[in-house]
């Protein structure tokens, strides 16, 4: 399929080199644009890359894209930066609009096709505004069901394990309630280093870096428009906008304003430590006069509904266990990894084409409404 050609590289290094190549294109509009490369983590050559520039005459607003907070999800994010550079740059006025594009907030995860960092941290549970205020055992539902979420030895018989997990999940749902199990996931946990949805004991290097950028943009511009790109959540092959609970507008109001079909709001109980929430809190407390639009944009894979959510739980739990404890059989290992891949960066061309189409819808809706794009 020609439409998707060049947008979906097969590894992190290819994706990064495509991203670095955008500098030339961007410099045609913002001659002062620069590429910043920040080394992250214990391994060599994992970097966050950022292309940024002030507006040429007057910093009235800035377009801010972040990708790869959840490692493997960064491939779709990088495709969005690529798409924006190819199709929308010409509709942006560089005289008054600055630009800041970030490739791979979690480069280790992107390189290794994992969601978490090399410290097993889910970055979107790591941006606590006030870390001291969150007790390490805050997630009671997770504690209660922790045998479900923690690795439990080498995988010897995958079909048995899948059955067992399915039974455990259904049992947990019937005894604790569906919302309690969803909460165990969404809230994150700060107690079990090898468990899923781990938020970390301290701030990750990436979180320190991103907080600095958030501060800088909020102080340099009166208007900041931020799209943070993810995959998996929401209806399959569609875009879903997920808005911070710090944004005072309700779901219906947001739908009317942005003309998007799928819009969800975080409640603070659902997610602790997500980065857009941090951005809004920082703005409210330190830059109250700055206008901030900041939301997550998700491309759905498994779909929504109970069946899809059970599949997601099982995939996440098995992949984590495979990482820590391994599997006896190669075929089991491959099945888990391909299921994980299907959840966050599917190989099929229809999905890839759909996210380009849906990405266009999302960008036109949000960047059009927020006055970044001048489409006549």
Binding site for Zn ion (CB under 5 A): 70, 73, 230
Q: How far is the CB of 230 from Zn ion (least distance, A)?
A: 3
Helix (H, G, I), strand (E, B) or coil at 183: helix
Q: How far is the CB of 233 from Zn ion (least distance, A)?
A: 7
Nearest to Zn ion of 118, 312 (CB atom): 312
* Look-up of token digits 């979906």: 8
DSSP conformation class of 198: B
Q: Which residues contact 337 (CB under 8 A, 6 or more apart)?
A: 113, 319, 322
Q: How far is the CB of 285 from Zn ion (least distance, A)?
A: 25
Position of minimal CB gap to Zn ion: 230
Nearest to Zn ion of 118, 298 (CB atom): 298
And the tokens for 241? 């906008």
> SS3 letters for 46-62?
CEEEEEEECCCCCCCEE
Q: How far is the CB of 70 from Zn ion (least distance, A)?
A: 4
Dist CA 48 CA 205 (whole Å): 11
Q: Which residues contact 98 (CB under 8 A, 6 or more apart)?
A: 30, 52, 53, 54, 55, 59, 61, 62, 63, 220, 221
Dist CA 359 CA 348 (whole Å): 17
Nearest to Zn ion of 64, 229 (CB atom): 229
Nearest to Zn ion of 16, 230 (CB atom): 230
* Look-up of token digits 């468990």: 195
Q: How far is the CB of 99 from Zn ion (least distance, A)?
A: 23
> Cβ distance 298 to 231 under 8 Å?
yes
> Cβ distance 15 to 74 under 8 Å?
yes
Question: Which helix H or strand E contains 239, and what residues bound it?
Answer: strand 239-243
Q: How far is the CB of 32 from Zn ion (least distance, A)?
A: 32
Nearest to Zn ion of 97, 237 (CB atom): 237
Nearest to Zn ion of 230, 280 (CB atom): 230
Q: How far is the CB of 160 from Zn ion (least distance, A)?
A: 30
Nearest to Zn ion of 73, 238 (CB atom): 73
Strand pairing class (291-300; 223-236): parallel
Nearest to Zn ion of 26, 72 (CB atom): 72
Nearest to Zn ion of 121, 372 (CB atom): 121
The vertex-196 CA angle with 319 and 315, nearest 5°, equals 35
Q: How far is the CB of 123 from Zn ion (least distance, A)?
A: 9
**Cα 171 → chain centroid:** 30
Strand pairing class (263-265; 239-243): parallel
> Residue 12: is it exposed, middle or buried by C-beta count within 10 angstroms (0-12/13-18/19+)?
buried
Q: How far is the CB of 286 from Zn ion (least distance, A)?
A: 26
């Amino acid at each position: 399929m020609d439409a998707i050609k060049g947008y979906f590289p097969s590894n992190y290094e290819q994706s990064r080199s495509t991203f670095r190549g955008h500098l030339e294109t961007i410099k045609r509009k913002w001659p002062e644009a620069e590429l910043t490369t920040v080394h992250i983590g214990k391994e060599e050559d994992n970097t966050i890359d950022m292309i940024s520039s002030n507006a040429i005459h007057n910093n009235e607003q800035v377009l801010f894209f972040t990708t790869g907070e959840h490692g493997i999800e960064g491939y779709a994010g990088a495709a969005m930066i690529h798409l924006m550079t190819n199709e929308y740059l010409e509709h942006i006025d560089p005289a008054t609009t600055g630009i800041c594009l970030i490739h791979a907030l979690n480069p280790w995860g992107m390189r290794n096709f994992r969601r978490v960092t090399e410290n097993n941290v889910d970055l979107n549970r790591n941006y606590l505004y006030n870390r001291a205020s969150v007790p390490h055992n805050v997630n009671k539902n997770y504690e209660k069901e922790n045998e479900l979420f923690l690795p439990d030895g080498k995988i010897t018989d995958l079909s048995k394990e899948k059955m067992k997990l399915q039974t455990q999940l259904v049992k947990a749902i019937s005894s604790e309630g569906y919302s309690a199990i969803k909460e165990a996931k969404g809230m994150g946990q700060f107690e079990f280093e090898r468990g899923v949805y781990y938020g970390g004991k301290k701030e990750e290097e990436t979180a320190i870096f991103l907080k600095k950028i958030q501060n800088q943009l909020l102080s340099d511009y009166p208007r900041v428009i931020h799209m943070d790109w993810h995959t998996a959540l929401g209806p399959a092959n569609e875009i879903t906008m997920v808005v911070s609970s710090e944004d005072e507008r309700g779901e219906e109001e947001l739908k009317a304003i942005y003309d998007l079909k799928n819009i969800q709001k975080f409640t603070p109980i659902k997610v602790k430590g997500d980065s857009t929430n941090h951005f809004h809190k920082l703005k409210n407390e330190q830059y109250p006069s700055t206008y901030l639009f900041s939301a997550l944009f998700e491309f759905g894979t498994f779909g929504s509904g109970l069946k899809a959510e059970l599949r997601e739980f099982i995939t996440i739990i098995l992949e984590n266990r495979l990482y820590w404890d391994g599997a006896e059989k190669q075929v089991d290992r491959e099945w888990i990894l391909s299921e994980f891949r299907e959840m966050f960066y599917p190989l099929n061309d229809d999905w890839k084409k759909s996210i380009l189409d849906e990405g266009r819808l999302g960008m036109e809706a949000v960047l059009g409404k927020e006055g970044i794009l001048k489409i006549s």
